[in-house]
Amino acid sequence: MTDPHASPAPGARPPGLGPHCVGQRVVVRRVLPGRSGPTGGPAMTDVLGTMTDWTPPTTTVLPAGGEPVVIALADIVSGKPVPPRPSVRLRVTAEQAERRALAGWPPVVAEPLGSWVLRAADGFSARANSVLAVGPPGLPVPAALERVVDFAAAHRISAWAQVVVGSAEAAAVEAAGWVRARPGEADTCFQVASVALASRALRALPVPGAGGPSSPGWLVDTAPVASPGWLAGDARARATPEAARAVLEGPDEVAFVSVAAADAPDTVVAKGRVSQTEDWAGVTDVWVDPGRRRQGLSLLVMARLLGWAAERGATTTYLQTRGDNPAALALYDRLGFVTHHEYRYLAAP
């Protein structure tokens, strides 16, 4: 009969482990030679961490926040790869993430409704002109939605609710008869990434002018307010300029990146905006003139936005991208962004 406490035979391959696990998170159970366990057999312990080396007769595992552990293959009883530990930023709830985004895109008027937030900004952007329906509204949902409709009428905007897909609030609002505000449009992906890792990914890509403040043929400017050129391509801002500036320039910490051709310095051909709330940096309004695309200008804009955020101590960056924008999603995937949650807008029937 096999002794369950016995060590593997010398040279035996530990089950579930091998050189293919290098770089993966693993859990390894090993014998502690010369020590006895509580039942009288050999003492054992588990090591959880990233396998950094597999060179028989040993393997090395690096625990999170600890020193590397060199383990003799002959002492391994069992082991296997395990899923990566969820990122700290992914453990933030959708409500917490949306509240940080709210601070980065502040409406002109904001009123609490329990945990919900009624927002209005003269129609400039859906995010600033809808109720942020996350958490309990403090009264029955049908009554809360009546308040939303009254608020919208008072501010001459459409009665819309921003809801997290799959949430209890979304189900309750839909049960009250509210429907998609933008039929046929994909949900919006709220994506997050590490500022440091995204910046590192950018350094490995062909970013124009990565070695200096500008590159041959391009002029890059970072300013605390939106210039007329930065706003020129935004039809929403032209329609409601005062509300647009109030929302765009509202955060305490915000920057606007503009890129222009050297032979046309007054014409913005690429741009972006970044705001900071605590250690979270929100990226919005990344845009490249259709005639200037596929020249790396979106990478240049992202590099400047994230550089600004890193200088101010931001550790997490987020952005919102429609699910039917594959080009943008592919770009952000290369930079390490992952979808935290999705949201959509519902309209009063």
CB 282 within 8 A of CB 64: no
pLDDT at 8: 44
User: Which of the two residues, 106 and 4, has the higher pLDDT score?
Assistant: 106
Residue 272 forms part of a structural domain:
yes
Residue 33 forms part of a structural domain:
yes
Q: Which of 242, 297, 241, 250 is nearest to 275 (CA)?
A: 250
pLDDT digits (tens, 9 = 90+) for 262-299: 888 989 999 999 999 999 999 999 999 999 888 899 99
Are 213 and 338 part of one and the same domain? yes
3-state DSSP assignment of residue 37? coil
Residue 115 burial class via C-beta count within 10 angstroms: exposed 0-12, middle 13-18, buried 19 and up = middle
Are 227 and 331 part of one and the same domain? yes
Are 160 and 214 part of one and the same domain? no
CATH number reported for the structural domain that contains residue 257 in this entry: 3.40.630.30
Residue 1 forms part of a structural domain:
no
3-state DSSP assignment of residue 90? helix
Q: Which of 65, 307, 320, 340 is nearest to 198 (CA)?
A: 307
Domain that holds residue 133: 93-180
Residue 88 forms part of a structural domain:
no
Residue 247 forms part of a structural domain:
yes
Kindly tell me if the per-residue pLDDT of 109 is higher than 80: yes
Helix ranges restricted to H, the chain: 94-104, 141-154, 168-175, 195-203, 228-231, 235-239, 241-248, 297-311, 326-334
Are 104 and 216 part of one and the same domain? no
Average pLDDT over residues 131-141: 97
Measured between alpha carbons, how far is residue 256 from residues 190, 290, 312 in Å? 21, 20, 15
Structure confidence at residue 9 as a pLDDT band (50, 70, 90)? very low
pLDDT at 3: 45
Whole-number Å distance between alpha carbons of 197 and 201: 6
Work out the percent of the chain whose per-residue pLDDT is above 90: 75
